[in-house]
Amino acid sequence: MSSGEKAKSKTRLDLIELARRYFRKNGYKVESETTLEGYRGLSRKFDLIIQKSRLVQGVWIRDWKRTIGVNVVINLDKASEDVGFKNPVLIGGQFSGHAKSYANRRKITLLTKQRMSLGLR
């Protein structure tokens, strides 16, 4: 593994740990990397599964330098719906306008590293 790959892996692990702390502080039970079989027979992978009382949500974490587009939000929506989760969560650096609009209509939570850091103070 090159030093660039190691650094990228470390920042992703830091972001996953930040997300775990954020959700636990907000009263969620947190499970790490889970693969579930959907109703359509496809395997669906989630970086985290969070649960608060009866609400179970799938979480994808995308540690990208570029803007996250609507296609990623749609894919998360489909994956969550396929396994029976409502209101999924997408964590990333920044989101396109179309991604924000789609997420707002479909009740998908978009979180940034900055917003989670502020929530832990």
Q: Which pLDDT does position 1 carry in this prediction?
A: 57
Is there a contact between 84 and 58 (Cβ–Cβ < 8 Å)? no
Structure tokens at 47: 């970086």
Mean of pLDDT over the chain: 91
Q: Which pLDDT does position 119 carry in this prediction?
A: 83
pLDDT band at 5 (very low <50, low <70, confident <90, very high): low
pLDDT band at 3 (very low <50, low <70, confident <90, very high): low
Q: Shortest CA distance to 33 belongs to which of 60, 54, 68, 57?
A: 60
* CATH fold group of domain 3-119: Trna Endonuclease; Chain: A, domain 1 (3.40.1350)
Residue ranges covered by each domain of the chain: 3-119
The predicted-structure confidence for 29-60, as pLDDT tens digits, reads as follows 999 989 999 999 999 999 999 999 999 999 99
pTM of the complete model: 0.89
Q: Shortest CA distance to 104 belongs to which of 80, 78, 70?
A: 70
